[in-house]
Chains A and B, each alone.
Chain A
Amino acid sequence: MILWCLLLVTLSSAVVAVFTDDFRRAVLAFWLAGLAMGGVYLSIGAELVAIVQCVVSTLAAVSMTVYAIMFGEYCRVDFRTRTQKGVAFVYSMGIGVAFVVLVGLCGKKLELNVSVSNLILREAPGLVSCGELILKEYFLAFEILVVTMFVALIGSGGVGREEQDK
């Protein structure tokens, strides 16, 4: 029941975040969706993923708010006309529905469609076993991720820097 409630909160918040014109509401709805996703992970026993999800979505919401204020997007309404918005809505919804149908067909083919009650683990793996698995089997993947984050940090500093010769 709790899992269903959290899933519904996630979905409704995501809908609000996608379709609202006010960027403030969009960011708040996005944050709520991220936290609800963390709750979903927590309720199925994925504690580490839940913690990371909550931290990352909070950081993303805060940074989006800061950058929206900086760029003047925070209080600006949509500049498009009603017709342009309608066309964009129909076009994007078509692609989104096609994506959902594709995922549903793949899930049916791979026999992934099970009920929610089967997903709640009776004996969920703890943080210690997660850490051990990362260190023993997936250390290279973890190192690659860390190096990628480091390179992205340095590279974005270079990209965002203003040119000195002008």
Chain B
Amino acid sequence: MIIIFSGILGGLGLVALIYRKTFLGLILGLQIFLFGAGLMIVFAGIIANSPMQGFLLGLFISLSVAPQLVVIYALVVRFFSLKGQTHVDALSSFIEKEPE
């Protein structure tokens, strides 16, 4: 039951990654996805009778959110300075069209 709950949380993050169309929405979805992953790891550690390992891996997952945020924010700032918007669809404008 509890693993299903973590799966639902991760699934909601996945839904946000697809449903939202701005970079900030994608960051939000990624965070929720990692919430689910961390919860699953911690619970799996307890179920497997090694809670310490589960706690530490959950800690590492929680801490790894910080560099991800920093890198994504830097990319979004760069994108905003180039395009003046943060919509994901605008990424397709970077694809160079072949000369006819």
Binding site for B on A (CB under 8 A): 7, 10-11, 14-15, 17-19, 23, 26-27, 30, 33-34, 37, 40-41, 44-46, 48-49, 52-53, 56-57, 59-60, 63-64, 67-68, 71, 73, 78-80, 88-89, 91-93, 95-97, 99-100, 102-104, 107, 112-116, 118-119, 121, 124-125, 129-130, 133-134, 138, 141-142, 145, 148-149, 152-153, 155-157, 159-160, 162
Assess the B39–A52 pair: CB atoms within 8 A: no
Pair B32/A33 contact, Cβ less than 8 Å: yes
Q: Are A119 and B47 in contact (CB under 8 A)?
A: yes
CB of A99 within 8 A of CB of B10, answer yes
The 4 closest A-B pairs by CB, nearest first: A103-B7, A156-B74, A152-B67, A107-B3
Residue of A at shortest CB range from B60?
A: A145
Q: A67-B76, A160-B77 are in contact. Are A114 and B31 (CB under 8 A)?
A: no
Q: Which residue of A lies closest to B31 (CB)?
A: A60
Q: Which of A33, A34, A156 has the most CB of B within 10 A?
A: A156
A53-B7 in contact (CB<8A): no
Min CB distance B70 to A, Å, is 5
Q: Within residues 8 to 46 of chain B, which ones have a CB less than 8 A from any CB in chain A?
A: 8-22, 24-25, 27-29, 31-32, 35, 38-40, 42-44, 46
